Amino acid sequence: MVKKIKVLADNQVARNVKESTQQIWLAGLGAYARAQEEGNKLFEALVKEGESIRSKTRKVADAKVAAVAATASGTWDRLEQMFEERLMRAVATLGVPTKRDIDTLAKRVAELTAVVQKLSDSQDGARSATKAVAKPVAAEPAAIEPVAAKPARATAAKKPAASKTASA
C-alpha cells in the first residue's frame, strides 16, 4: 500500500506539473495574443504622442527662430541707420546736394518753365496783334557794302637777336 500511495502521489504530482505546464503555455499564448492586439494600439498611441511632441517642439523652435530673427533684424536696422547717418554727414561735408535738394530744384525749374512758357505765349499773341494793326512802312533798300576780310595775323614768335660781346 505504501507503494500504491507512492505511485498515486507521483501520478498526482505529474498531473499537477502537466496542468501547470499547460496553464503556463496557455498564459503565454494569451499574453502573446494580447500583446499583439495591444501592441498595435500601443504603437498607434506612441505615434500620436510623437506627433504631438514634434508639433510642440516645432512651435518652440519656430518661436526661438522668430525671436532671434527679430533681434538680428533690429540690429541690422540700427547698423543701416548708423551707416546712412554717417554717409549723409560725409556728403554734407563735401557739399554734395541730396536727393531732396535735387527734387526741390527740379520742381522749381518746372514751375519756372511753365511761367516762361506762359509769358512767351502772351508776348507772341501781343506781337501778332501789333503787326495786324500797324501799317507796313516801305523801307529803302540799304546799300550793301562788301566787307573786306581781314588778313590773318601771324603769331610767330620772334627770336631776340643774340648780342655777342667780345671778350678780350
Q: Which residue range forms the structural domain that includes residue 78?
A: 2-124
Give 110-151 pLDDT, tens digit per residue: 999 999 999 998 888 777 666 655 555 555 555 455 554 455
Establish if 58 belongs to a structural domain: yes
Establish if 139 belongs to a structural domain: no
Torsion of CA 115, 120, 122, 126, to 10 degrees: 160
Establish if 65 belongs to a structural domain: yes
Establish if 103 belongs to a structural domain: yes
Torsion of CA 6, 7, 9, 10, to 10 degrees: 120
Domain count, the chain: 1
Establish if 107 belongs to a structural domain: yes
Give 19-52 pLDDT, tens digit per residue: 889 998 888 888 888 888 888 888 888 889 889 9
Does the predicted model carry a pTM greater than 0.85?
no
Establish if 145 belongs to a structural domain: no
Establish if 152 belongs to a structural domain: no
